[in-house]
Structure formats: C-alpha cells, structure tokens
Amino acid sequence: MRRAYALHDAAGWVARNYKRPLSDLGKEVAQILSVVGGGIYNAPINVEAINWYDETFGIRVYWRGSLSNWDSPGLALLLIECHRRMVRVEIEPANMQGVRLVFHQRKSRDGSTMDRLPELDEIQRIVDGWYEDQQHDGDKP
C-alpha cells in the first residue's frame, strides 16, 4: 500500500487542495510525508499549518503520531526517503503528544557537514567504524 504513496503527487495535492505555494524543498517534504504517513492526506499533520516555502529556516512539521523503525516503519521510511532526496531531517521535542520534524535541503553527498548528506551505507560504515575502533582499543595494553 505504501508503494502507491511513493508514486502519488503529494505536492500537487497540497497545492490543489490548500492553495499553497511549495518550494522545491516543500515538494520533497510533501512526498516524504506522504510515504511516511501513508498518504499526505492520512499523515498525522496539519497541512494548513506548514509553511511549505521556507527554505531558510527549514520546513517545520508537527507530527502527532508514532514513528517506529520496523513493524510500523515510519521512522525507517523517514530516514530512507530523506536520504534518497538529500533532505536532512531533525526530530525535536514539541509536546507530550508529538514531535516537530524540521527539514533542510542538502546539496551534495560530500563536502562540509553543513552542506552534505552522505548515503545511508556511508553512515553505516562510519558508525560501524566506531565499534571497530572500540574493539581495537580494548586490545591495547
């Protein structure tokens, strides 16, 4: 079912139904939220409250649902879709019922930390390296 939402024109749906302009980042975020939320119209967000055009401070979305990494894989889909589209996502506390997702566009896979967003497999190699370094440090007298 989620596969259909990956192909759905979520940005077009927002523009048509809410008469909102969307920046290029806003279009990417709409698509990400559609995949994660099982359709942009089903996602636990308030579409009208989102500034779909703010690329300076990021597109901020209040998410009123849970995010999990597997059995209900919203968190995994969020991570995968953001990396696929070169969008950095930050999860901030909002209140007892939800979190705020803040999205920023990245320009390349390499370069400075502020400009890049590596592929997921590169991030996994970096994290795996932390554990390898720790194991080797434990071998030292």
- The edge-to-edge listing of strands for the beta sheet with 99-105 is 59-63, 99-105, 87-93
Q: Do 25 and 39 belong to one domain?
A: yes
Residue 10 is inside which H or E element, if any? helix 10-18
The amino acid at 25: L
Q: Do 97 and 28 belong to one domain?
A: yes
* The predicted structure's pLDDT at residue 138: 58
Burial track 80-99 (b if 16+ CB lie within 10 A, e otherwise): ebbbebbbebeeeeeeeebb
Q: Do 81 and 17 belong to one domain?
A: yes
Q: Do 83 and 99 belong to one domain?
A: yes
Token readout for 71 is 């059995």
Give the residue numbers spanning the domain of 11.
2-105
- Beta strand residue intervals within the chain, DSSP E: 59-63, 87-93, 99-105
Q: Do 70 and 36 belong to one domain?
A: yes
Per-residue pLDDT tens digits for 64-95: 999 999 888 999 999 999 999 999 999 999 99
Q: Do 100 and 32 belong to one domain?
A: yes
Residue 136 confidence (pLDDT) above 70: no
Per-residue pLDDT tens digits for 89-133: 999 999 999 999 999 999 888 888 878 898 889 989 989 999 887
**Per the structure, how many domains does the chain have?**
2
Q: Do 66 and 130 belong to one domain?
A: no
Are residues 106 and 117 in contact, defined by beta-carbon separation less than 8 angstroms?
yes
